[in-house]
Structure 1
Amino acid sequence: MIDKKVDRLEQDYYDCETIIKEYSKSFYYAFSQLPRHDANAVYAIYAFCRKADDSVDKADNIQEKKVQLRKLEKEVSAFLDGIPQDTPMWRALDDVKQRYKINADMLKVQLEGQRMDVDFKQPADIEELIEYCKYVAGSVGCLLLPILSDNIDNQRYIEAEKLGVAMQITNILRDVGEDCSNLNRIYLPVSLMKDSKYTKQDLEQGIINEAFINVWETLAETAENLYDDFVEELKYYKVEARLPLLISLNVYKELLNEVRNHQYDCFSKKHAVTKARKLYLKKVSKKYIQQHFKG
């Protein structure tokens, strides 16, 4: 007899996989290397994060953003109370919660980060930017930790959060122009722009000069240092998760080089790592794992 419940769950995970394939080719390229059950769990987490992000970014106005966010907050509360919505994403997440020791409260942290975007205020300094990144992306690292690692303690959560911060800073640096023109958000810290003498008007006009490059590279260096530090964390992750994690890290890090290679044009071009480059980074990552984790 065919188990219809299992059949439906497989379809639920497939729906989540479809979302990550469409919206994050870099993440999908890396985490599709995981064993199927772990990959499915990552897809479900990503589907939630995508839904949270869209609830704010795709709404037409502030009021609609708040309405959508409150709706999602109610769904999260019901999920935490053991009453998930009867939809593919929530059914998949409920299965993830049963199979892994995820800290589901991080879903609330993620939504708090989205609330910061609704009531947006340009970060005053790098520390404030990092704090924002902890909410919207550090929370993702913390959600994924129990899926990818059997070493779960406070320090591992701190380090997983840092990787999320690095990736969010990378997203911000890639999307500077789009965030400013389409969302009316400037994530570049006020103090950093002031110190470099790069103005809001410069940003709105898409001016790429020495001042802009200085601001951009200061943040890029922050992200790159976090990436480099995280490589040491790989030893705490499952054997089968090390390569996908390193691929993900290296592909995201490469996004920064893509921007550099195109003369820092974050205004007229959407940067992405090519398939050929991803394949190269996969080989480099695999060689590193083989050399540093023998046996």
Structure 2
Amino acid sequence: MNASLSYAARPYMTKSSNINMFGSKRYMETNVRSEVTIAIPNRRKDSSKLILDLSINGIPCTEKFVHEIVQRQSKQKIDSSSFNVSRKPNFHPMFLQESYERCRDICAEYAKTFYLGTLLMTEERQKAIWAIYVWCRRTDELVDGPNAIHITSAALDRWEERLDDLFNGRPYDMLDAALTDTVHRFPLDIKPFKDMIEGMRMDTRKNRYANFQELYLYCYYVAGTVGLMSVPVMGIAPESSFSAQNVYNAALYLGIGNQLTNILRDVGEDASRGRVYLPQDELTKFGLCDEDVFSRKVTYEWKEFIKEQIARARLYFDQAEEGASQLHKASRWPVWSSLMLYRMILDSIENNDYDNLTKRAYVGRTKKLMTLPVAYTRALRNPSVGVLL
């Protein structure tokens, strides 16, 4: 996680956060258990055996969580009076305008490529996405920013109480006010926001993951939730033949893929803090352990292990692509940009000969800019056409 927040009216923002609108982060015990099987894409026949080996059957997934969220958000309509907030805010127009402008500036500063993608959205959607981005970033910085060492469980409890107030028309500061206005304009449910805070709690008490089952849940809480927050604002294309549930699932998969990519990119940095966000049982399968991570030796076994982790992340991106084309046409560009850029981070790890222990994979500015027109072309695709790879 990467986060830091001051409880003053003007929160302290840092450049350490890597939160992205469709994912970036990390458990909560749950009695919800469901079997999840990721279908093997026909277009990837040559890698079917590998994908079978990477099956995530048996993961206690968030399917029920997602279904409940979809049901609640689908029942609400923009500008209706049935929102899950109890009191409509009454902000002065100039105050509200400045609130959204501050959110825009933060998004433009810390998520430049994504920000450019939002510029094709309608003004109302732009502002809402900026407000959600800023809240996610501030939440993320609680456990990863310069003040993270001082963050306690009680501080996270206060942040959650502040979220409740925000949804009930009582924002704490100007940045909160933008999101308060947003939740009155769009059918946003509070659960994904609360789940993200739970992900922050995980980061304060857990730095090892026994298996992918545990890691998957972490990825849902810190990253998959972002997609669930964003779909009501992005909107689903009227001509889409996908069910709302399938579109939300795709948004969830994109968040999972993004977070898995963040983990692979940041292995060395996390190790310096004594954290290993990798499935322990899978490390063992390749004859590896934490000491191999801390020693930063890129062995044959390490490379083979990372190859499988990259393949898994790509599998989630494959599932996400189908849903990206089902969003409203004015909202697809930033999603496609995010998806393509995160894929390129995985490519960069491969280009570094799977050395993510001493080298940090990144995508240069030129490559990012060259990706934008390609993402824009894909965003123009008719949802009924499907995705061609």
Q: TM-score, normalised by structure 1?
A: 0.89
Q: Please tell me whether residue 9 in structure 1 is matched to residue 96 in structure 2.
A: yes
Q: After the TM superposition, list the runs of 4 or more consecutive aligned residues in structure 1 that deviate by more than 6 angstroms.
A: none
Query: Contact 2:341/2:371 (CA < 8 Å) preserved in 1?
Result: yes
Contact 1:138 1:163 in 2 (8 A): yes
- Pairing of 1:262-281 with structure 2 (within 5 A): 262-281=352-371
Q: Deviations over 1:86-110 (max 9, x none)?
A: x122101011101111122211010
Task: Return the match for 1:123 from 200, 209, 216.
Answer: 209
1:185 and 1:26 map into 2 onto residues whose CA distance is: 29
* 2:309 is the counterpart of 1:219: yes
Q: Secondary structure at the match of 1:239?
A: coil
**Larger helix percent:** 1
Counterpart in the other structure of 2:272: 181
Cα distance change on mapping 1:259 and 1:14 into 2, 3 Å: farther
- The yes-or-no answer on 1:19 pairing with 2:110 is no
Per-residue CA deviation, residues 41-76 of structure 1 (Å, 9 max, x unaligned), is 112111111111111123657663324312211201
Contact 1:138–1:160 (CA<8 Å) still a contact in 2? yes
RMSD after superposition: 2.4
SS at match of 2:272: helix
User: Which 5+ residue runs of structure 1 have no aligned equivalent?
Assistant: none
User: Which one-letter code corresponds to 1:157 in the other structure?
Assistant: Y
Task: Indicate how the Cα distance of structure 1 residues 198 and 24 shifts in structure 2: closer, same or farther if over 3 A, else same.
Answer: farther
**Contact map agreement 1:148 1:238 (CA 8 A) in 2:** yes
For 1:96-111, list aligned pairs within 5 A: 96-111=182-197
Task: Give the whole-Å Cα distance in 2 for the aligned partners of 1:227 and 1:11.
Answer: 36
Per-residue CA shift, 1:183-228, capped at 9, x if unaligned? Answer: x221110011101112211111212222222222222211111112
How far apart in 2 are the matches of 1:121 and 1:61?
15
What is aligned with 2:261? 170
SS in 1 for 2:330: helix
Tell me the distance in 2 between the aligned counterparts of 1:160 and 1:80: 23
Question: In structure 1, how many angstroms separate the alpha carbons of the residues matched to 2:295 and 2:279?
Answer: 18
Equivalent in the alignment of 1:72: 159
Q: How far 1:122 moved relative to its partner? A: 1.3
How many Å separate the matches in 1 of 2:369 and 2:280? 38
Count of paired positions: 290
Distance 1:31 1:78, change over 3 A: same
Q: Which stretches in structure 2 are left out of the alignment for 5+ residues?
A: 1-90, 238-242
Could you say which structure has the greater relative contact order, defined with CA pairs below 8 angstroms and 6 or more residues apart? 2
CA distance in 2, matches of 1:146, 1:187: 30
Offset at residue 290 of structure 1 (A): 4.2
**Deviation at 1:8?**
2.0
Of residues 14-23 and 115-124 in structure 1, the stretch that sits farther from structure 2 once superposed is: 14-23
Q: Find 1:56's aligned residue among 125, 136, 143.
A: 143
For 2:159, the aligned partner's letter is: L
Cα deviation for residue 79 of structure 1 reads 2.1
Q: Distance in 1 between matches of 2:248 and 2:258?
A: 16
The SS at the match of 1:82 is coil
Partner of 2:226: 140
